[in-house]
Amino acid sequence: MTTFQSKDDVLTLLVHLGYLAFEHESVSVFIPNAEIRGEFRNAIEYEQL
């Protein structure tokens, strides 16, 4: 996948790569482990500075 047509394409790629997980009951994605959550948090905090 080299081009993204929508935000769903990006989420699908992140799920397939293991950075996100999909919850069937709530039809939502989430960050599956603490290490990735920490890196995501660092990226967001860096962007807000």
Res 47: pLDDT:
55
For the record, the structure tokens of 11 come out as: 């989420």
Contact between 9 and 15 under an 8 Å Cβ cutoff? The reply is no
Would you list the DSSP string of the chain?
Answer: ----SSHHHHHHHHHHHTSSEEETTTTEEE--SHHHHHHHHHHHHHHH-
Going residue by residue through the chain, which has 49 residues, state the pLDDT in tens, using 9 for 90 and above. 568 889 889 888 999 999 999 999 999 999 999 999 998 888 888 655 5
Q: Are 38 and 44 in contact (CB under 8 A)?
A: no
